[in-house]
Amino acid sequence: MAAAYRIVARVTHDTPEVGSDAVMAEIDETWSEQEVRLLGTVLRVLVTPMSISRTDALESIEALGIPVNDGTCTEARSQLLRGYAEAHSRVEEALHFGLNIARSGPHQLLAEDWPAGLRSASGNPVPDPPNAAQASPAEPPPAQKNEGNLFFAKTTTVRFSEQLDELHDVMFEANGWQPDNNKTRHMLEAFAWLTGDKPMSDYEPADIDEYVRRLARIPKGFDWGRLHEKGAMAVPFDPTTYPALPSTYRRSDRTINSHLTKLEAASNILKKTYWLHRQGFGQVMDFQEARKRISVSDSDPKRMPLTEANLVALYGLPLWQGGGGCNARVKLVRNPTIYQDAAYWVPLLGTYAGTSREEACGLELVDVEISAETPYILVQANMTKSKDGVTPGGLKRESRRRALPLHPQLMRLGFADYVAAIEAEGWDRLFPELYGEFDADAQYVRWKKPGGPKFYGTAWRYMIDAAHAIEPLPKTSGGKHADYHSQRTFHYSAMAGEDVSEALLARHVGHSQRTTGGRNYNRRALALGEERELAERLAVLVREVPIVTGHIPTPPRVNLLHLNKRSRVGSAPGRNAADRFLA
């Protein structure tokens, strides 16, 4: 391409065909036959004498205020074509030295000290031109001296942490996010800490790669603290105190990708302010490019599913067979009783409906339809799962909104009676004990960490620890044991029979459709009726998912503990799940 532009610069704009003499003047013995043929093709198809016409040259010199005559028009056309040739040559040289033009922007190709400027951009040594010793240093362009740096339109002394509060608020408003218990703020603070909390205009793409490397050296379970306030982030980051970690302690690539996703959302806002590209468009800080590629191995998955044996052991505990009351639910007692609450029902909803922990814990009575021809629960945003008390919440993504048919085993064990009992108590929530308790004045007080975290802390870890003592939980090569979400993996795996379509599975578990047809046209419930669609999925559910609760007796009635004592399981005999979980 560079050679083609130099060739057409040697002929007039109205030359009908470039002659061989002009071509031979450009090439030498280093050109291969294939390259010569390709040059001929370029001159016929892509680069012709009219690539820059006399009119183009005329407009350029008029814009510069240069006198217009045949000589200046001819010279202007030649200079424009040679500029195109120089651009192609510089791109080739930049790529040779590893400069990512798409990421850093084409302005780097305009450096007056080319190619010496490649040193700072690529990190690779570039030999000085032969006359470098005699050449006077180039005067920096005015824009670089006064208005910005190599990447951004403006310089500023404002540090990342100093604009973090405003950035955090704008991110949530621009994306319609609900409060997330300061998870996003933590990710922004972590970026500031790990990159030295520099002035905004001092950041560059290399900082993203350095951030990812440093984040990978922060161990799982690390006590971060708050930026400039307390804990590890109260003092500047010292990379020498955080060596490379063995894989057992290293945070997963998925966790790193979640940080990069939030930072990409931040960059999309900052590219219009502090991180405005020098050219006025494009994005310098592209966090998406640093995302880790997630590889999934069938022989070594990131999460192991619970097995039928694990679930049979779980539902064989006294909690479902008959045991004690508050903090003795997995212990044998003289007068065993089956109590129903979140501890009883939430695992069953995970097994037979495929709900996530938060979906099951946050159900409301209006989300349960027992009287339908096919009874179902509706997973949707509601006020129980709201993070701000104003906007309904609880949906990870819109595809998670779905109706789930209730398995006959849930109905056999008295789910309808439990719903009626909770309604008789006057609750809107299906599991009110997960969201608050009665204080001394008989006022219902909401927990600070309600829903799923409360269920895990008072119920799940004790019952799964007790089941682990009977039937050890499977674990990954990295030592991660199967957890509550492993029930969802079990449910999906069981449903995925040979003749079960991916579209049905996606609707059932709330995954996004992969195909254009699935995303835009598959509206089976609307087209054929919701009842038919529910009945079809129930038939697959009953056929494919194994019965792991056949040994649970049908409770003769619904027994409810006092609200403050519900879903408090306690450790199994001889175990202490609070201190030695799964030990």
Above 70 in pLDDT, residue 120? Answer: no
Please report, as a single letter, which amino acid is at residue 360: A
Total H helices, total E strands in the chain? 25, 5
Above 80 in pLDDT, residue 125? Answer: no
Instruction: Give the pLDDT mean for 558-567.
Output: 97
- Residue 334: strand, helix, or coil: coil
The more confident residue out of 279 and 512 is 279
pLDDT of residue 27: 82
The more confident residue out of 533 and 297 is 533
Please report, as a single letter, which amino acid is at residue 338: I
pLDDT of residue 521: 38
Lookup result for tokens 């990069």: 260
User: C-alpha distances in angstroms, 146 versus 120, 143, 154, 158, 296?
Assistant: 20, 5, 8, 16, 50
Taking the C-alpha atoms of residue 124 and residue 114, their distance in angstroms, rounded to an integer, is: 14
Strand partners, 230: 226
Confidence of residue 297 (pLDDT cuts 50, 70, 90): low
* Selection from 414, 416, 345 nearest residue 555 by Cα: 414
The more confident residue out of 465 and 92 is 465
Which DSSP string corresponds to 91-150? HHHHHHTT--HHHH-GGGGG-TTTTTTHHHHHSS--PPPTTTTTSPPPPPPHHHHHT--S
pLDDT of residue 248: 75
pLDDT of residue 101: 63
Above 80 in pLDDT, residue 142? Answer: no
pLDDT of residue 161: 95
Over pLDDT 70: what percentage of the chain?
87
Above 90 in pLDDT, residue 176? Answer: no
Instruction: Give the pLDDT mean for 336-349.
Output: 97
Above 70 in pLDDT, residue 49? Answer: yes
pLDDT of residue 517: 42
Above 70 in pLDDT, residue 337? Answer: yes
Above 60 in pLDDT, residue 214? Answer: yes
Among 71-75, 151-155, 320-324, top mean pLDDT goes to 320-324
pLDDT of residue 362: 95
Question: Which residues, other chains included, contact 353 with Cβ-Cβ below 8 Å and sequence gap of 6+?
Answer: 360, 377, 404, 406, 407, 410, 491
> What is the per-residue pLDDT across 18-37, written as a single tens digit (0 to 9) for each?
887 778 888 888 888 888 88
CB 310 within 8 A of CB 474: yes
CB 223 within 8 A of CB 231: yes
Taking the C-alpha atoms of residue 19 and residue 177, their distance in angstroms, rounded to an integer, is: 64
Above 50 in pLDDT, residue 139? Answer: no
pLDDT of residue 361: 95
Strand partners, 378: 403
Above 80 in pLDDT, residue 523? Answer: no
Above 70 in pLDDT, residue 138? Answer: no
What rounded mean pLDDT belongs to the chain?
85
Which DSSP string corresponds to 234-280? GS---GGGS----TTTBPPHHHHHHHHHHHHHHHHHHTTTTT-BTTS
User: C-alpha distances in angstroms, 555 versus 226, 417, 547, 559, 562?
Assistant: 49, 10, 18, 9, 18
Instruction: Give the pLDDT mean for 307-318.
Output: 96
Dihedral angle computed from the Cα positions of residues 183, 187, 188 and 189, in that order, rounded to the nearest 10 degrees: 100
- Quick check: bond before 375 cis, omega within 30? no
CATH topology of domain 311-565: hpI Integrase; Chain A (1.10.443)
Give the torsion sign (CA, 162, 167, 168, 170): positive
Across the chain, which distance is largest between two alpha carbons, in Å? 110
pLDDT of residue 132: 40
Above 90 in pLDDT, residue 251? Answer: no
pLDDT of residue 512: 65
Instruction: Retrieve residue 498's tokens.
Output: 């040979």
The more confident residue out of 150 and 412 is 412
Confidence of residue 149 (pLDDT cuts 50, 70, 90): low
Question: Which residues, other chains included, contact 536 with Cβ-Cβ below 8 Å and sequence gap of 6+?
Answer: 504
Give the torsion sign (CA, 338, 344, 349, 351): negative
What's the gap between Cα 376 and its chain centre?
A: 31
CB 164 within 8 A of CB 187: no
Lookup result for tokens 């205009």: 201
Calculate ∠ Cα 76-80-83, nearest 5°.
140
Burial class (CB in 10 A: 0-12, 13-18, 19+), 42: middle
Over pLDDT 90: what percentage of the chain?
48
Taking the C-alpha atoms of residue 211 and residue 187, their distance in angstroms, rounded to an integer, is: 11
Above 70 in pLDDT, residue 296? Answer: no
As annotated, the residues of the chain forming the CATH 1.10.443 domain(s) are: 311-565
* Selection from 541, 533, 545 nearest residue 372 by Cα: 533
pLDDT of residue 501: 76
Instruction: Give the pLDDT mean for 450-470.
Output: 95
pLDDT of residue 510: 78
Calculate ∠ Cα 516-172-280, nearest 5°.
80
Confidence of residue 137 (pLDDT cuts 50, 70, 90): very low
Above 50 in pLDDT, residue 144? Answer: no
